[in-house]
């Protein structure tokens, strides 16, 4: 990574981002593909040992094998507390105590709210909001004991400004942002930071659903972005690596849109 960041107040030295997370252990949920895979790669490039955690454990292991440095793939279902606890135990046994959690696993279902059913609402809430809550709870005891930790939630601009066709999804992402702010207040004095990154429309399988519903809608999304293009997973990952780095140690409870200027709130 080309970015250089200040090393800290104590030495005033500049250090390359490639060393910023040396000795740290990170879990990225939903990292077998898309934005999560790019985040796992960025954290590994910054020196962290990375657990690529996903419902699709086989693909997670393939992704982990291709990362720089120490990395493992772990099967994880964020909807199942036993699975979350087992995954965190496995990561701690193989890589060490978890310093960084990236709550990235998420699902979306596109369509008018009035046509959606309760099973869909429950699934969206279970993965996007409760999944974030379960994984955060699972790593917090260790972070509190050690007096340090970073939790970074991948929310969405939909959670900041609302998105038609994604009404319950928007609600879950708004919930994720509020969860991060409240948890940040509770844990700041214990040396833990909690922040949210909000991608705009980003080129992944999740966004392909929009094109499946309407190619015109997909094209209009790109036109609505001031930078006139859909984001790439590699646009999102550096913001997460920054928030995980020592340079972001005084930033907590914040919500950062990475969306080519789509939302400016
Ligand atoms: N792509 C976009 O336009 C966009 C925009 C805003 C926010 N986001 C958010 O970014 C995050 C990543 O999205 P993406 O676009 O890379 O999606 P994606 O569908 O490409 O990848 C999501 C990953 O999450 C995993 N996953 C799903 N359910 C899971 C579960 N229960 N437990 C563990 N893993 C599970 C999937 O197996 C998959 O590997 C999501 O939280 C999404 O809401 C995406």
- CA 103 – CA 54 distance, rounded (Å): 11
**Which residue's entry shows tokens 């550096």?**
238
pLDDT above 90 covers a percentage of the chain that reads: 88
Centre of ligand 1 from the C-alpha of residue 8, in Å:
33
**Residue whose CB lies within 8 A of the most ligand 1 atoms, among 38, 83, 84, 106, for a mutation test:** 106
**pLDDT of the residue at 37:** 98
For ligand 1, atom 38, which residue shows the shortest CA distance? 30
Residues with pLDDT less than 70, the chain: 1-18
The residues near 25 (Cβ < 8 Å, ≥ 6 apart) are 48, 49, 50, 51, 91, 92, 95, 96, 97, 98, 99, 100
Centre of ligand 1 from the C-alpha of residue 70, in Å:
23
For ligand 1, atom 1, which residue shows the shortest CA distance? 202
Q: What is the pTM of this model?
A: 0.95
**Residues annotated as part of the active site:** 169
Q: Is the dihedral of CA 186, 188, 194, 195 positive or negative?
A: positive
pLDDT tens digits for range 67-122: 989 999 999 999 999 999 999 999 999 999 999 999 999 999 999 999 999 999 99
- CA 178 – CA 155 distance, rounded (Å): 10
The full 3-state SS of the chain, as one line of letters, equals: CCCEEECCCCCCCEEEHHHCCCCCEEEEECCCCHHHHHHHHHHHHCCCEEEEEECCHHHHHHHHHCCCCCEEEEECCCCCHHHHHHHHHHHHHHCCCCCEEEECCCCCCCCCHHHCCHHHHHHHHHHHHHHHHHHHHHHHHHHHHHCCEEEEEECCCHHHHCCCCCHHHHHHHHHHHHHHHHHHHHHHHHCEEEEEEEECCECCHHHHHHHHHCHHHHHHHHHHCCCCCCECHHHHHHHHHHHHCHHHCCCCCCEEEECCCCCCC
For ligand 1, atom 25, which residue shows the shortest CA distance? 30
**pLDDT of the residue at 16:** 57
Are 76 and 61 in contact, with CB atoms under 8 Å apart? no
Q: Is the dihedral of CA 105, 51, 249, 199 positive or negative?
A: negative
Centre of ligand 1 from the C-alpha of residue 107, in Å:
5
* Ligand 1 neighbours (beta carbon < 6 A): 29-30, 32-36, 54-56, 76-79, 104-108, 127, 131, 154, 156, 199, 201-202, 204-207
Q: Which atom of ligand 1 is nearest to the CA of 31?
A: 39
Q: Which atom of ligand 1 is nearest to the CA of 157?
A: 6
Centre of ligand 1 from the C-alpha of residue 6, in Å:
31
């Amino acid at each position: 990574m080309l970015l250089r960041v200040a090393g800290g107040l104590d030495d005033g030295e500049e250090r390359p981002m490639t060393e910023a997370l040396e000795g740290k252990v990170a879990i990225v949920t939903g990292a077998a593909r898309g934005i999560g895979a790019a985040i796992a790669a960025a954290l590994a490039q910054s020196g962290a040992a990375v657990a690529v955690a996903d419902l699709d454990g086989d693909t997670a292991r393939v992704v982990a094998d291709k990362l720089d440095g120490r990395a493992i793939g772990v099967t994880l279902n964020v909807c199942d507390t036993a699975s979350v606890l087992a995954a965190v135990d496995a990561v701690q046994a193989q890589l060490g105590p978890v310093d960084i959690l990236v709550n990235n696993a998420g699902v979306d279902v596109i369509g008018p709210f009035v046509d959606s059913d309760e099973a869909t609402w429950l699934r969206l809430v279970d993965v996007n909001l409760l999944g974030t809550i379960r994984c955060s709870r699972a790593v917090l005891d260790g972070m509190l004991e050690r007096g340090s930790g970073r939790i970074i939630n991948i929310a969405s601009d939909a959670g900041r400004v609302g998105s038609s066709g994604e009404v319950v999804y928007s609600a879950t992402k708004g919930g994720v942002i509020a969860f991060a702010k409240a948890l940040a207040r509770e844990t700041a004095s214990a040396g833990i930071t909690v922040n949210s990154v909000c991608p705009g429309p980003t080129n992944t399988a999740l966004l392909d659903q929009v094109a499946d519903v309407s190619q015109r809608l997909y094209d209009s999304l790109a036109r609505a972005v001031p930078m006139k293009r859909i984001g790439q997973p590699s646009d999102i990952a550096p913001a997460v690596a920054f928030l995980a780095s020592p340079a972001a140690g005084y930033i907590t409870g914040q919500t950062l849109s990475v969306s080519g200027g789509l939302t400016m709130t």
